[in-house]
Chain A
Amino acid sequence: MSTPGQPPAEANGDGNLPAKLGEERLTAPVVRTGMFGIDGTSDTSGYGRLVVHKPLPQSSSRPYGGYFDAVADALGTALSADGAGLDDAIERVAVEHGELTFYVRRASLPAVAEKLLHDPALRFEVFSGVSGVHYPDEAGRELAAVYHLLSITHNRRVRLEVRAPDADPHIPSVTSTYPAANWHERETWDFFGIIFDGHPALTRIEMPDDWPGHPQRKDYPLGGIPVEYRGTKVPPPDERRSYYS
């Protein structure tokens, strides 16, 4: 994206405005930004775009609609039977695009998983998968592990999202509750570096065993090579100039 240019040495009011008729010519060049004069990108359309790298954390309020309320209530009841409340375990609840997402605090994840499986009103028997997402822009909450669960009994779906910071990438494992999480957690460790505490054998699964780094993190390069063809070299996809961020 265009970066702010250097203001001219002369005090000409707003450094970005063109010189007015009759005024002295500036001694230093004016670097205009925004509509006219861009650098850092080849976008010559004149219009930069609004880049939302940090979508505002959505938090839905009751009633959520559909079966989501029933699920949230049942989860709250089940958790409070153990003494913990819904708010201790769940940071926030988001209902977007017809999907229910619980943002679970990582310490409460095993308890929540256990309740989701065993409580008769919840019964999310089928573990669909865990995958990771890396948000390097959200300091302190960079690594996310996203769980998808399915309840055949009640024909429902739910998503759990657990965050961990880069500095302390530990999330408790749910393999004791959902054995099907085994390989998924290994894959998430392999690609993102999230360490699942309590996993029976957290080793690399896709990459070779001695591979350094975690490839799907945003700070890991794509790793392509330039392609030669008829006298030109096309750079790999992550190094090509882009017309947009």
Chain B
Amino acid sequence: MGIEEKLPAGVLLTSVEKLAGWARARSVWPATFGLACCAIEMMQTGGPRHDMARFGMEKTGSTPREADLMIVAGRVSQKMAPVLRQIYDQMPEPKWVISMGVCASSGGMFNNYAIVQGVDHIVPVDIYLPGCPPRPEMLLDAIFKLHDKILNMKLGAQRDAEITELEQARLNMLPLHVSAPADHAAAEFGSEL
């Protein structure tokens, strides 16, 4: 990528990370992938009351080539899925994805033939935002969490280490179950998590 790839881990790299994280987080340009009802709430988030422009996000990239963040707002139908993937591929690194709304996160209330049951089947998602549709304040909260993530993102060799660490944490995560017996859960979900 750039200078950060070549810097050895140390205080210099950490400073570059801080600077890059700060710069990236303060000017995230969304490639608004507004599809359905969540798109209306995303529009309202860009509206005067809950102003996304305060956070540097007003340049809603019409083109994915200039965008950092893809907010998948709305239900993704089977016909739209290849388009979604193509837009994601057209975005340059670094890029992040917020799946806004339950339909984007998991298929939502539409558990049927026509809707992809979660855009994480198609693109990797950084922040899942539930809601039907989520209020603009909720979308702003998701964006803040993403800003947090971007601010603290490591670069270069430290990034690889960070990714390995996160993957290990995921693999070791215990399944969320309340009352099912342990062996039942392991049989059902053991290999899926």
Contact = CB atoms under 8 A, between A and B. Distances in A.
Given A230-B176, A230-B178, A231-B175, A208 B78 contact: yes
Q: Main SS of chain B's interface residues?
A: loop
Interface residues of B, number: 19
Contacts of B79: 207-208
Interface stretch (A24-32, A173-181, A217-225): A217-225
Contact of A230 (B106, B117, B177): B177
Contacts of A208: 78-79
A58 interface: no
Contacts of B178: 230-231
B174 to A, nearest CB: 11
A201 interface: no
A237 interface: yes
Nearest to A222: B112
Interface in A184-225: 207-208, 211, 215, 220-225
A5 B102 CA distance: 45
Contacts of A236: 111-112
Interface string A1-39: 000000000000000000000000000000000000000
A228 interface: yes
Contact of B184 (A220, A224, A227, A231): A231
Interface string B55-66: 000000000000
Contacts of B114: 207, 215, 223
B179 interface: yes
Contacts of A228: 189
Given A208-B78, A208-B79, A231 B176 contact: yes
Interface size class, chain A:
10 to 19
Given A208-B79, A231-B185, A223 B179 contact: no
B180 to A, nearest CB: 4
Interface in A18-72: none
A158 B114 CA distance: 32
Contacts of A223: 112-114
Interface in B128-143: none
B176 to A, nearest CB: 5
Chain A CB within 10 Å — which of B114, B180, B185 has the most?
Answer: B114
Contacts of B113: 215, 220-224
A245 interface: no
A232 interface: yes
Contacts of B106: 227
B111 A231 contact: no
Interface in B112-154: 112-114, 117
Nearest to A220: B113
B188 A231 contact: yes
A228 B117 CA distance: 12
A208 B113 CA distance: 12
Given A230-B177, A231-B175, A232-B180, 19 more contacts: A207-B114, A208-B78, A215-B113, A215-B114, A220-B113, A221-B113, A222-B112, A222-B113, A223-B112, A223-B113, A224-B112, A224-B113, A225-B111, A230-B178, A231-B177, A231-B178, A231-B189, A237-B111, A237-B112
7 contacts: A207-B114, A222-B111, A222-B112, A223-B114, A224-B113, A228-B189, A231-B188
Interface of B: 78-79, 106-107, 111-114, 117, 175-180, 184-185, 188-189
